[in-house]
């Protein structure tokens, strides 16, 4: 009799407090869930001000990227670039980057994107929007990736209207960091050292940046649109053989890819596009587990609240919250250290551009004197590889700091290749009785542009017409469609290198 | 006395009467005993009979007990699941944010330079022996459970003096080389602030922001994108 009853009583005695404890835990969990709840932002929301209603601090700091508004004309700083990029849009207009607030504006205003008069004209493909806006993942979802990468840049002028914003990096249904560009996932998986499936939160704090801050090219891809043959220019990362300058060069060489053919030297050229991520991962900060966000988006305190600053910019603006989290020293010392690194890079980069521009001009002279393809082939290969290396080292403006050793190493390679080309060119020129040929003067942007036969005034005039007509129409149309967020361009002033 | 003598004449009669009474009594007793025995036997039989009948009424009680054990085990298993009890046996920092109370501490640590070198347990638990570690874990776990269940904690958590000792020891354990000279010199100090601490004061009396920052109120980190528990 007693045994069963005792067991029963003990069980009741044990169960009651356990049930109460479970109830208490569930209450705490509900509280936790309420605290972690995601606000009702609609999936794929492209207007950052809508997100800003729930994340005012993040939004306010993000909007402060408008303070980075200075236009620095790089072609003016180093006119050799005009010669090196002859025949390629970068010879028309190239400024140092401004804040994310201006990303879309500057893409529309630059002479590189030309002056389309309708949605089928203009020199560049749709791919040129890829990094500028959260409207891009929206369009890829709506039209499909292949359709998005097909056609002219102007095709999406009234669709891509909100500058880089919340939706480029965050999933509105969970607020977690997310990759909205599939070509990065494909690049990571092809490269192999960090597979998409294995990325951690800390990796994501760099990879969301690597969606744009990486080297890419437009891969010509034939596709079939319900029976109609179309050609897409798909943004692709050349990471299959690795991320170093030499690995990518090998990748491009392996199937004879070139971004354009240089009109003076007739070299099949490669253009490097800011390989920030690829160089960063070779640097000491990456190897110590830091992410882009650790320094470019420091953790800041405002009153009683801590949050990640979304004013993406130079860590030198906030040394106390970035460098000094780990390092000893004063702000002054840090500034001096960084300036010294920059000066070293500039010194070698300047040498490289001078050599490479002269190589192009000397090659043009050799061609004009009747040099043969056979004579010129090794020369052109050296120019191609030399300029690629120089571009790889400097196109990502932070590489001199992220990876100083790698940057200087690659620049040294560029100088070596460039000089190799010029030594070979001297022989060709001598053969054609021009051993003492001196390349013409390209010491100013104007002289250099005249040298490559560019009608700069005409480009500017056409562009201004575009800015006053089609550009205005795009924003009006998109506002009518409810796509454009006027808050994203509050206080926007037209600022370019040419007006 | 007179009274006794007054009765005495009737005594022989009375003796007889007594004998009769005794005999009757004996007889009564005997039958009583017999009856009692019978009654007892009857009761025993009743009990046996009862016990036999009880076979039917005793069975549900046994089932009830078995059922109660199963329910208790079930409730316990659910409690283990709900409380993520087993996660506390690990060294994973995410176990410390099973409750939201530590999210600020997690977020601030995750943004600090210590994140790559030291997890929660590396600083907050003793590292000398496994037994001490587990004892400290149990002790802290108990305090945390009580505070969490009865909501006795405020928005600003403060370290217990016991935990402070562990952390101080752990600072020194990792930064041994850096502080070795200070330790040696400290033998000469007058340990004014706290005589129980090796160097008179704790590391964070000066290094106040390490690693959680000087401000670690529970509402300090509102949008913990990185510390959400699935």
The beta-carbon neighbor of A307 closest among B64, B65, B223 is: B223
Nearest chain A CA: its distance from B69 CA (Å): 6
pLDDT score of B56 more than 70: no
pLDDT band of residue B229 (cuts 50, 70, 90) is: very low
pLDDT score of A197 more than 60: yes
Cβ count near A453 (within 10 Å): 10
The beta-carbon neighbor of A1 closest among B58, B108, B222 is: B58
pLDDT at A148: 96
Set of chain A residues whose Cβ sits within 8 Å of the Cβ of B88: none
User: Of the given ranges (A364-373, A396-405, B209-218), which has the lowest mean pLDDT?
Assistant: B209-218
Average pLDDT, chain A: 94
pLDDT at A213: 97
pLDDT band of residue A303 (cuts 50, 70, 90) is: confident
Summarised one tens digit per residue, pLDDT across range A128-153 is 999 999 999 999 999 999 999 999 99
Summarised one tens digit per residue, pLDDT across range A252-299 is 999 999 999 999 999 999 999 999 999 999 999 999 999 999 999 998
pLDDT at B8: 47
- C-alpha–C-alpha distance, residues A274 and A394, integer Å: 8
pLDDT at A4: 82
pLDDT score of B10 more than 60: no
pLDDT score of B190 more than 90: no
**Mutation target vs A (from B58, B62, B68; most A CBs, 10 A cutoff):** B68
- C-alpha–C-alpha distance, residues A182 and A137, integer Å: 9
Give the per-residue SS3 of chain A.
CHHHHHHHHHHHHHHHHHHHHHHHHHHHHHHHHHHCCCCCCCCCCCCHHHHHCCCHHHHHHHHHHHHCCCCCEHHHHCCHHHHHCCCCHHHCCCECCCCHHHHHHHHHHCHHHCCCCCCCCCCCEHHHHCCCCCHHHHHHHHHCHHHHCECEHHHHCCCCCCCCCHHHHECCCCCCECCCCHHHHHHHHHHCCCCHHHCCHHHHHHHHHHCCCCCCEEEEEEEEECCEEEEEEEEECCCCCCCCHHHHHHHHHHCCCCCEECCCCCCEECCCCCCHHHHHCCCHHHHCCCCHHHHHCCEEEECCEEEECCCCCCHHHHHHHCHHHCCCCCHHHHHHHHHHHHHHHHHHHHHHHHHHHHHHHHHHHHHHCCCCHHHHHHHHHHHHHHHHHHHHHHCCCCHHHHCHHHHHHHHHHHHHHHHHHHHHHHHHHHHCCCCCCCCCCCCCHHHHHHHCCCCHHHHHHHHHHHHHCHHHHHHHHHHHCCCCCHHHHCCCCCCCCCC
Q: Between B53 and A492, where is the model more confident?
A: A492
Set of chain B residues whose Cβ sits within 8 Å of the Cβ of A24: 148-149
pLDDT at B5: 44
Vertex A218, ends A69 and A166: CA angle to 5°?
Answer: 45
User: Which chain A residues touch B if contact means CB-CB below 8 Å?
Assistant: 1, 3-5, 7-8, 11-12, 14-15, 18-19, 21-22, 24-26, 28-29, 31-32, 35-36, 55, 58, 170, 174-177, 201, 288-289, 294, 299, 301, 304-307, 325-326
pLDDT at B193: 66
pLDDT score of A391 more than 80: yes
> Given CB atoms, is B207 within the 8 Å cutoff of chain A?
no
Set of chain B residues whose Cβ sits within 8 Å of the Cβ of A12: 68
pLDDT mean over B134-151: 91
The beta-carbon neighbor of B100 closest among A26, A31, A58 is: A31
User: Of the given ranges (A6-20, A287-301, B17-31), which has the lowest mean pLDDT?
Assistant: B17-31
Q: Test B65 with A5 for CB contact under 8 angstroms.
A: yes
Nearest chain B CA: its distance from A34 CA (Å): 10
Summarised one tens digit per residue, pLDDT across range A177-196 is 999 999 999 999 999 999 99
Q: Test B68 with A15 for CB contact under 8 angstroms.
A: yes
pLDDT at B98: 86
Q: Test B116 with A301 for CB contact under 8 angstroms.
A: no
pLDDT mean over A236-241: 96
Set of chain B residues whose Cβ sits within 8 Å of the Cβ of A201: 226
Residue in chain A lying closest to B77 (CA): A18
Average pLDDT, chain B: 81
pLDDT mean over B169-180: 91
This prediction has a pTM of 0.83
pLDDT band of residue B140 (cuts 50, 70, 90) is: very high
Set of chain B residues whose Cβ sits within 8 Å of the Cβ of A36: 100, 224, 228-229
Nearest chain B CA: its distance from A178 CA (Å): 12
Please, are residues A399 and A276 in contact by the beta-carbon 8 Å criterion? yes
pLDDT mean over A388-400: 96
Set of chain B residues whose Cβ sits within 8 Å of the Cβ of A11: 65, 68-69, 71-72
The beta-carbon neighbor of A4 closest among B65, B76, B217 is: B65
pLDDT band of residue A1 (cuts 50, 70, 90) is: low
Q: Test B69 with A299 for CB contact under 8 angstroms.
A: no
pLDDT score of A122 more than 90: no
Q: Test B113 with A326 for CB contact under 8 angstroms.
A: yes
Residue in chain A lying closest to B74 (CA): A15
């Amino acid at each position: 009799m007693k045994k069963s009853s005792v067991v029963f009583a003990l069980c009741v005695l044990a169960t009651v407090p356990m049930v109460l404890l479970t109830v208490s835990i569930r209450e705490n969990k509900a509280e936790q869930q309420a605290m972690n709840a995601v606000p009702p932002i609609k999936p794929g929301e492209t207007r950052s001000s809508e997100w800003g209603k729930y994340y005012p601090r993040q939004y306010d700091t993000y909007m402060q990227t408008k303070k980075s508004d200075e236009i620095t004309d790089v072609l003016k700083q180093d006119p050799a670039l005009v010669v090196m990029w002859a025949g390629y849009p970068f010879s028309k207009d190239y400024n140092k980057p401004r804040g994310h607030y201006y990303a879309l504006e500057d893409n529309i205003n630059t002479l590189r994107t030309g002056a389309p008069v309708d949605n089928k004209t203009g020199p560049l493909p749709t791919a040129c929007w890829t990094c500028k806006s959260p409207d891009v993942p929206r369009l890829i979802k709506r039209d499909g990736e292949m359709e998005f990468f097909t056609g002219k840049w102007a095709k999406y002028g009234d669709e891509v209207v909100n500058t880089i914003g919340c939706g480029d990096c965050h999933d509105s249904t969970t607020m977690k960091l997310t990759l909205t560009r599939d070509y990065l996932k494909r690049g990571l998986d092809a490269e192999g050292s960090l597979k998409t499936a294995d990325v951690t939160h800390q990796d994501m704090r760099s990879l969301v940046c690597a969606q744009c801050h990486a080297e890419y090219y437009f891969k010509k891809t034939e596709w079939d649109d319900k029976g109609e043959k179309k050609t897409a220019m798909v943004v692709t990362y050349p990471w299959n053989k690795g991320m170093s300058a030499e690995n990518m060069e090998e990748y491009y060489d392996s199937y004879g890819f070139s971004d354009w053919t240089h009109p003076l030297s007739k070299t099949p050229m490669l253009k490097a596009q800011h390989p920030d991520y690829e160089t960063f991962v070779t640097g000491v900060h990456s190897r110590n587990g830091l992410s882009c966000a650790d320094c470019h988006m420091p953790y800041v305190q405002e009153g009683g609240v801590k949050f990640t600053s979304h004013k993406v910019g130079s860590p030198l603006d906030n040394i106390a919250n970035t460098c000094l989290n780990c390092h000893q020293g004063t702000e002054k010392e840090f500034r001096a250290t960084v300036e010294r690194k920059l000066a070293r890079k500039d010194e070698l980069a300047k040498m490289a551009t001078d050599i490479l521009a002269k190589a192009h001009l000397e090659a043009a002279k050799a061609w004009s004197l009747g040099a043969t393809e056979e004579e010129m082939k090794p020369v052109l290969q050296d120019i191609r590889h030399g300029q690629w290396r120089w571009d790889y080292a400097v196109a990502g403006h932070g590489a001199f700091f992220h990876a100083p050793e790698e940057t200087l190493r690659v620049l040294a390679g560029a100088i070596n290749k460039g000089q190799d080309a010029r030594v070979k060119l001297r022989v060709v020129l001598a053969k054609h009785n021009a051993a003492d040929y001196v390349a013409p003067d390209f010491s100013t942007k104007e002289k250099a542009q005249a040298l490559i036969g560019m009608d700069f005034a005409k480009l500017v005039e056409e562009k201004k017409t575009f800015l006053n007509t089609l550009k205005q129409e795009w924003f009006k149309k998109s506002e009518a469609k409810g796509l454009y967020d006027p808050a994203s361009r509050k206080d926007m002033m037209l600022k370019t290198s040419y007006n | 006395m007179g009274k006794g003598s007054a009765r005495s004449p009737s005594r022989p009669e009375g003796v007889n009467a007594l004998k009769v009474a005794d005999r009757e009594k004996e007889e009564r007793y005997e039958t009583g005993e017999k009856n009692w025995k019978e009654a007892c036997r009857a009761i025993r039989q009743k009990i046996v009979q009862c016990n036999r009948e009880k076979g039917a009424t005793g069975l549900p009680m046994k089932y009830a007990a078995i059922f109660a054990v199963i329910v208790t085990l079930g409730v316990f298993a659910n409690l283990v699941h709900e409380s993520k009890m087993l996660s506390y046996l690990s060294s994973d920092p995410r176990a410390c944010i099973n409750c939201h109370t530590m999210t600020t501490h997690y977020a601030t640590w995750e943004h600090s330079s210590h994140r790559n070198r030291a997890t929660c347990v590396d600083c907050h638990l003793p590292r000398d022996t496994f037994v001490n570690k587990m004892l400290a874990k149990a002790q802290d776990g108990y305090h945390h459970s009580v505070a969490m269940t009865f909501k006795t904690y405020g928005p600003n958590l403060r370290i217990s003096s016991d935990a402070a000792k562990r952390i101080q020891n752990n600072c020194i354990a990792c930064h041994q080389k850096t502080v070795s000279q200070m330790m040696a010199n400290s033998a000469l100090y007058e340990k004014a602030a706290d005589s129980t601490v090796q160097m008179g004061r704790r590391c964070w009396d000066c290094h106040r922001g390490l690693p959680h920052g000087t401000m670690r109120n529970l509402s300090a980190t509102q949008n913990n994108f990185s510390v959400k528990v699935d």
